[in-house]
Homo-oligomer: A and B are copies of this chain.
């Protein structure tokens, strides 16, 4: 890149499109002649109201969210949603199923259990899972799900950021609503939102800066929280107040709007999927023929957002990371739970960044 920017493979907060940052910088002191920064605007004022409503409308359009579902712009990240989903939905039938296929889905399950609001049950884990959940290389197939038809919901995490695995199918749970953490894959490909009871995602991977959480909830699933639920954590209250019970994270919402403009200019989610599948294939194709690198995720369970691999040797991994860093390929160190190397290649990572990484891997392999 010629503007001093590096290729940032961070798992999140993560790379944002250059054009989004350029617009944000240009509008920082004076948004469209208002004489104010967006972050200085009253959230109840006309100018900001238009930004907020436009962002909601764009998200509804880009994701084709049906009218049956409300879109909420909240705070607290996925971890707050681990509790909020359970607090709001567990009371419906008093019990819920959890798929534990990675670090965050395990945390979601643990938080839900800690609330003492109903019976939470592990409906499936990843095959080959070790007792401490440290090994997760694949996603269970439909036939491997132990489903309770009386559950309030079935919770899963669509893309496991740490392990580089992803659900490449939407589970069929009959009438049991799907509750899905899409933090690290939202907006990466077209999605049939109508199949989900509730979708949530922290913004800091494919949507914008950390501190904004998107929730898409089927309206009939709100309104079941106990009366003593804090108002900030009640979906029904937030729907009624259009996410403005109090001041929302106004600047982060504006940035989400800029990211959605960028996605629409790129051709929407179908184009985004093609872009992402192509980038991921570059890395997986190389890994599958590599004599030096090993891919952690099984074929069929591979994420197009996070590609996790290793030489199998800690020192060699370090040497590779050093070589990559020298080429401005940055933040490739994997999470400590897996070790090794992780390339997070979210929407905003350009194909040239992934090509440069693949070339670096080849160079490292050739010079072994």
Contact = CB atoms under 8 A, between A and B. Distances in A.
Interface of A: 1, 3-6, 8, 10-16, 18, 21-22, 24-26, 28-30, 33-37, 39-43, 45, 75-80, 82-84, 87, 111, 114-117, 202, 204, 208-212, 227-228, 230-233, 245-252, 255, 328, 330-331
B35 A209 contact: no
Please tell me how many copies of the chain the complex holds.
2
A36 B9 CA distance: 11
Nearest to A232: B80
A80 B230 contact: yes
Given A21-B29, A116-B227, 20 more contacts: A3-B29, A4-B29, A4-B30, A5-B36, A13-B40, A16-B39, A18-B29, A22-B29, A25-B26, A39-B210, A75-B75, A79-B245, A80-B230, A83-B230, A204-B247, A209-B249, A209-B250, A209-B252, A210-B251, A249-B249
B330 A43 contact: no
Contacts of A228: 114-117
Contacts of A328: 35
Contacts of A84: 230
Contacts of A231: 79, 83, 111, 114
Given A231-B83, A250-B211, A29 B25 contact: yes
Nearest to A6: B35
B8 A330 contact: no
Nearest to A41: B13
A13 B252 CA distance: 13
A35 B75 contact: no
- Classify the secondary structure of A's interface with B: loop
Contacts of A209: 39, 249-252
Contacts of A115: 228, 230
Nearest to A37: B21
A246 B79 contact: yes
A42 B13 contact: yes
A24 to B, nearest CB: 6
Contact of A4 (B33, B80, B208): B33
Contacts of A116: 227-228
Given A21-B28, A28-B24, A39-B210, A13 B247 contact: yes
A248 B33 CA distance: 31
B22 A8 contact: no
Contacts of A28: 21-22, 24-25, 28
A5 B35 contact: yes
Contact of A76 (B14, B16, B30, B232): B232
A228 B13 CA distance: 29
Contacts of A208: 39
B211 A249 contact: yes
Contacts of A30: 3-5
Contacts of A25: 25-26, 28-29
Nearest to A110: B231
B75 A247 contact: no
23 contacts: A4-B35, A5-B30, A8-B36, A10-B40, A13-B40, A15-B36, A16-B39, A18-B29, A21-B28, A22-B28, A24-B28, A25-B25, A36-B330, A39-B210, A39-B255, A75-B75, A77-B246, A77-B247, A83-B232, A87-B230, A115-B230, A210-B249, A211-B212
